[in-house]
Structure 1
Amino acid sequence: MVTKDEAVTAAAKFLKTIAYPDRAGSVVVLPDTGIEFTYGWTVRFDFQEHIDTGDPTQAPFTSVVVVPHDGSAAHFAPTFPPTEDYMALQASGDWPPKKGH
């Protein structure tokens, strides 16, 4: 099981080294937004430019990182289904959805 602190650290590493290495200094991980699910943690983040200006064009396209409890790689939550549904589907083994369902 991954602790909240470990999830925040893993999310920050994913964002700064894999997802946005060219914007690593701009990434702001929001540790207080960490939510634990059966499958793992979700942690939100933002870019400093968006925080400073409120300009929506400066916001990340998706702002949720998933850190699975099983130690697999951190990744972005999909934009659909809603994050809570995605986490439940992952926990139940029903992700990815089967074709025709």
Structure 2
Amino acid sequence: MVTKDEAVRSAQTFLQQVVYPDRADSIVMRPDTAIEFTYGWTVRFDFKEHLETSDPSYAPFTSVVVVPHDGSAADFAPTSMPAAEYMALHASGNWPSRKGQ
């Protein structure tokens, strides 16, 4: 099981090293909004520029990172559904497989 602090660190590493290495100093983690689900944690983040100006053009396209409890790599939740629904589908085993793609 991944703790909340570990999930926040994992999400931050994912964002700073994989997704936004050119904006690593701009990433602001929001550990107060982390939510634990059976499948793992959702952790929100924002960009410093968005927080300082409230200008939506500075906001991240998606602000939810998923950190699975099983140690799998952090990734973004899909934007096509609420994060809680995505997490419930994973926990139930009903998330579509990529087999045959």
Q: TM-score range by the shorter chain?
A: over 0.9
TM-score, length of structure 1 as denominator length? 0.94
Listed one character per residue, the Cα deviations across residues 35-92 of structure 1 (whole Å, up to 9, x for unaligned) are 0000000000000000000000000000000000000000001001111000000101
Q: Give the CA RMSD over aligned residues.
A: 1.2
**Counterpart for residue 44 of structure 2:** 44
Runs (5+) with no aligned partner, structure 2? none
Q: Percent of aligned positions with the same letter in both sequences?
A: 70
The 1-side partners of 2:60 and 2:26 are apart by 11
Stretches (4+) displaced over 3 A: none
* 1:1-101 equivalence runs, <5 A: 1-96=1-96
TM-score, length of structure 2 as denominator length? 0.94
1:96 is paired with a residue of what secondary structure?
A: coil
Counterpart of 1:72, as a letter, is S
The 2-side partners of 1:97 and 1:12 are apart by 27
Counterpart of 1:13, as a letter, is T
